[in-house]
Amino acid sequence: MRRVFAYGYRPVFQRANTDISYMRSLSALSSFTALDVQTAASTVIDVTENARILSGAIGRRLGRGRYPTSFFSSAELAALQRIRRHTPWEVFYTNGRLPASDVLGPVIRFDYIHEPDEIDAPAKFMQDVEAKRAYARHCAGIQVATETQKRLFARIGIPEAKIFVVPFFLPQVSTLSETAVEAKHQDDRCLRIAFVGHQARRKGLPALLEALQAPHVSEIPWELTIVSKMLDGPVSLPQSDRISYHEQLPRDEVLSLFSRAHVLAVPSLRETFGLVYVEAMASGAVPILAAGPQQRELSAEGEVGFPVGPDPKAIAESLRLLGTNRSDRMRRAQKGRELFLSRYHPAVVAEAYRLMVERICQ
């Protein structure tokens, strides 16, 4: 069994950060495949990482730009080497910072390129590309979540042999059975729509609400459940008994919401990936997604869902089809479930992790 160290720390300022919680979730890989993934607490790492977060936040307030360097200091390296002497590992795994040498073993970095910046903020995009190239020189492997991302990394000069397509590991997501998905979509006296996203504006809630007012949609019986803290500004909600709003729900209740919903409508302006779409597909909910290349890949080029982005007319047409054509909706829902089982199921992803680590060790 290969031993992997997943780099992380105990956050003070970003306790809900998905990158940090993701690293913790990797310890569950051993339940699915022959990998021993460990994380270890270090006061030095905890202090320096939290200090970086605070420094970065202050710097941005003062107009000084981004976080400090993503390479470890000598003190951090020494702390990690002490951990490795006590509990040895073969591969160092990170989705953030990394060593500038091989003293911690071969490094795998889970990375991504924010493609919209190439057009929206070209100077920022080129700065990010240069950073990716610098990090890659110190890595034995670069993990990306999609084939689209692999092409992007290859385009900026990262050798393809160094790039591994391994999706996100989602051990907490369970799959609705085929018969349960069918029964849910047979029960469609009212089209059940879910919106989940704490940045409601960026996630497309205003466009979704506008689409629901279109005449050919408003005539369809529907109900909308919104889960959002509205962190990027409030969105005015119509007074309607069709709409229920929750600022926040526990994780298991969100997954339960997906298991009841016919449609997940999160037509974001932009998304790097979109874990919520994968979680919805596992439950047989048809996604309305962002329109980016990652989401086109996630939706099998529109076979599973509708990668239309925050376009009210396109959203309205998608909802009209989903609300009036049960057979098409059910076909998409079952295809999404099958796609989850073949590509994103925890056992499938865990095996992809094992093969990646094995390649790096060899």
- The amino acid occupying position 246 is H
pLDDT at 67: 47
Q: What is the pLDDT of residue 266?
A: 98
Residue 274 CA to residue 289 CA, distance in Å, equals 8
Let me know whether 122 and 249 are in one domain.
Answer: no
- 3-state SS of the chain is CEEEEECCCCCCCCCCCHHHHHHHHHHHHHHCCCEEEECCCCHHHHHHHHHHHHHHHHHHHCCCCCCCCCECCHHHHHHHHHHHHHCCCCEEEECCCECCCCCCCCEEEECCCCCCHHHHCHHHHHHHHHHHHHHHHCCCEEEECCHHHHHHHHHCCCCHHHEEECCCCCCCCCCCCHHHHHHHHHCCCCEEEEEECCCCCCCCHHHHHHHHCCHHHHCCCEEEEEECCCCCCCCCCCCCCCEEEECCCCHHHHHHHHHHCCEEECCCCCCCCCHHHHHHHHCCCEEEECCCHHHHHHCCCCCCCEECCCCHHHHHHHHHHHHHCHHHHHHHHHHHHHHHHHHHCHHHHHHHHHHHHHHHHC
pLDDT of 21-62, one tens digit each?
A: 888 899 999 999 999 999 877 787 888 777 777 776 676 676
Radius of gyration, alpha carbons of the chain: 22
Both 11 and 143 in a single domain? yes
The predicted-structure confidence for 192-207, as pLDDT tens digits, reads as follows 999 999 999 999 999 9
- Crossing angle (nearest 10°) for helices 251-260 and 275-282: 60
Q: Is residue 205 domain-shared with residue 131, that is, in the same domain?
A: no
Asked if 25 contacts 62 with a C-beta cutoff of 8 angstroms, the reply is no
List the one residue out of 271, 309, 288 whose CA is nearest residue 191.
288
Same domain, 101 and 22: yes
**For residue 41, how many other CB atoms are within 10 A of its CB?**
10
Same domain, 82 and 197: no
Report d(CA 247, CA 148) in Å as an integer.
33
Q: How far apart are CA 107 and CA 158, in angstroms?
A: 15
259 and 144 part of one domain? no
83 CB-near residues (< 8 Å, 6+ apart): 5, 40, 42
Cα torsion angle, 203, 209, 214, 216, sign: positive
Computed over every residue of the chain, the mean pLDDT equals: 92
In this prediction, residue 218 carries a pLDDT of 87
Q: Which ranges of the chain have pLDDT less than 70?
A: 13-17, 56-57, 59-60, 62-69
Q: What is the CATH number of the domain that holds 139?
A: 3.40.50.2000
The tens digit of pLDDT for each residue in 270-299 reads 888 899 999 999 999 999 999 999 999 999
Give percent of the chain with pLDDT exceeding 70. 95
Residue type present at position 84: R
Q: Where in the sequence is the domain holding 152, given as residue range(s)? A: 2-171+346-361
Between CA 108 and CA 22 the distance in angstroms is 15
Co-location of 145 and 284 in the same domain: no
Residues forming beta bridges with residue 244, ordered by sequence position = 225
Q: Which of 338, 347, 288 is nearest to 317 (CA)?
A: 288
Together in a domain, 339 and 354: no
Same domain, 126 and 231: no
CA distance 117 to 337: 32
What is the rounded distance in angstroms from the CA atom of residue 27 to the CA atom of residue 5?
A: 10
pLDDT at 62: 67
Q: Are residues 86 and 194 in the same domain?
A: no
Predicted pLDDT of residue 69: 56
Residues 199 and 316 grouped into a single domain: yes
Q: Are residues 167 and 194 in the same domain?
A: no
Domain count, the chain: 2
